[in-house]
Structure 1
Amino acid sequence: MLSTSKTIILTATITIASMLFASKVSAFLHHHSHMQHRCGRFSSSLATDTRRRIWNPLGSSSSSSSNNNVDVYKQEFNSNSQTINKNAMFEGLLSSALNRAQSTLEQTREFSSTSSSTSSSFSTPTAFDQQPPTQEQPKKENSKKTSKGSYRDNPAITNTALAHSLWREILKPNQDSAIDATCGNGHDTLAMAEILFPSADHEDNNKHENYSQLLALDIQERACQSTTKAIRERFGPSILEEDHRVEVRQTSHAPLPTPSDGGDVGLIVYNLGWLPNANHNNNNNNNNNKNGKKAATTTSSSNKDCITKVESTLQSLTDAALMIRIGGMISVTTYPATNEEEDLAVRVLLECLALLSSNVQTWRGFLDEIYDDTVVHDDDDDESDDEKLQPSKSQLSKETMEMIVVAMERIVSEGEAKQTFRVSEHRKLGMYRAPILLTATRIK
């Protein structure tokens, strides 16, 4: 289909050709008038010479002069005739070109009038390899799907994507071992496996004697089955049954088991709370569904026990702090809406780890100050959870504080003298009940 720009070019061509034609016609008329004038002079001179021949039959000098004038006029007449022929030929060619251009322009107008797509303004011609606008609709639909995926996978928006991004910076494929202390449905385990065992190098990895190992733990059978299925579908059965590079154990994370290969542990992950997407009958936990964390098993009252406990979590984190290699990371996701006591206990313990190398305050001094914190209470029962002040560390029970002290004393006594951790807390501002990502990276 001819574009609007081509139509404009044709119109300009016709205009220029018309101007040239008018110029040639004017020149022709002027030349024709001049030729008639010269021909008149020739006829008058010829008549005069004829009269001279009659009165001077013997041929005087005036007769020879008259003959010369006749020859000159003949040459001019022939030259003018040739010019007229050339002009006529040029005018014929120009007329033919104008007719063809006019015909093409009329066809373009007829085609444009029947076309559904029109342009109201001049635009540059479209490249030949560019798809027409009617074929861009599927791309828009795909872009919407991509935007959804990018929202969930954006480390600046979700803590899960942020955690996976940090893990990729920490783990060394084919060298490190890793532990998923609460494998749940296997999403975190699968993300760790994809980092440790890239699919493109899977066959080459089998040739190494000291390869990575991934250990996935959970006390619930359903969680172990879901994790095993996710790994099998992604990597095949050999990584579980033959190579044993991924091992799923139905056991507690306290005490924290160690990988069987005895290699360096570069990452230990905790995702606390309920097993996601599990059914439960505990009416007191209805508000927890907003955060995607639910009770763990079926219908019995013992379902309340299928949730991570403060005591076992603190014990497991203590083992993790002593096990993690230099440069490794402990990654913990807590859920204040599910277990506020556990969330506060984990944050206090990890902050004590950060104070191991502090020259400003000791971890014992930090724990002593917690008891001096004031707690703001609001008696307005109509206020929502998101509008209340976030819970204070001073709300920890005495038993929990004692467990934190025991954990820190063990880390100090069994760990290296100058062990150093850098601890970060990632939370959404204005959403006090939202999940919190905590990371503790050992740098010394």
Structure 2
Amino acid sequence: MVALPQTDWRTRAGLDELIEALGGGTHARFVGGAVRDALLGLPVADIDIATRHDPEDVMHRLRRAGIKAVPTGIAHGTITAVIASGPVEVTTLRRDVSTDGRHAVVAFTDDWREDAARRDFTMNALYADPDTGEVFDYFGGLADLDARRIRFIGDARQRIAEDHLRILRFFRFLARFGDTPDAAGLAACTDRTNDLMALSRERIRDELLKLLVARDAVAVIRLMLDHGIVAPVLPEIDPAGVARLAALASTEDAQGIAPDAIRRLAALVGHDAVVEVGARLKLSNADRKRLEAAGSGVGDEGPRALAYRVGPDGARDRLLLAGADTHSLDGWVPPRLPVSGGALVARGLRKGPDVARTLRAIEDRWIAAGFPERIDAIVDEAVAQALSAASSA
């Protein structure tokens, strides 16, 4: 018998009470990512539970046990149980009645195998008894997990026809968990790549950004490019972009910096395409601005000067994309210019353009000097030059 390891997430506060309210392992099992990640020895973030009880019964059982129940997706069988350690999604076993590539009409069932059959990949169709930890595998998911193989359940083309997003999920899971692509799955994704055009840009964006920070993102993006997978939605991606992404990933790794999706997207699409790509993927305004600024270059003033002018996060993006070292920014907080316009007026400058121009000159010299705390000499020189220019005007 294969069983879940006894890890911390299984003892989260309130989880035992939730399982008891649902009738124990006979009627409720852990499913999906929690089971997969636990077997791989990875941290488990979200817990999902599948149950034989219909949604209304789940609501009744949770409320009777004093557990807050939120009908977040009750039409599709999902109730969010709010326990002491956080939310847990509880979903009634389902089977697909009809699908159109974006949405599914489901019916409820009490058959674990039927529920497993509607899931995307074998490694995501693993269930575990919450009491004993016993793992239930209906489609060879354990073997695929051991081989790091991402394999569709059943016919790959049919699974993609049911939900087109599974094309991108195939590659995201390959980048995160896989070693080699399943040949049938890769062929099906290649054949049906135009199905991606039917998806909302928000769904494409979310999957792409998750893929970009995965373990083997560079190799998988290169594979997708070779097979024409992303051309219908991101035609800007080319071999040069993949090379930039590879260089960025290498720099991040060498400096011990975690991958960042927006920064990596900037490398992948190149500076000339960031405006169009940001709009097409419907990025937030903040992410669009960051994407557009990331490839603007670093200049020759040095990392801290750049961080002072554009902010530490923006400077780090630009430096990493340029392959430059960022360690001088670790823990550094840009200081404030230690002189004000009022101080310059008190020294005889006229309010208005003269003060603004002199402040800029002082700031430039202060930055070039390495942000010294005392800048009397810099201020004296700049004010003297300003007064001399004013008197000769």
**Higher RCO (CA < 8 A, seq sep 6+):** 1
TM-score w.r.t. length of structure 1 = 0.23
- Kindly name which structure, 1 or 2, has the bigger radius of gyration based on alpha carbons: 1
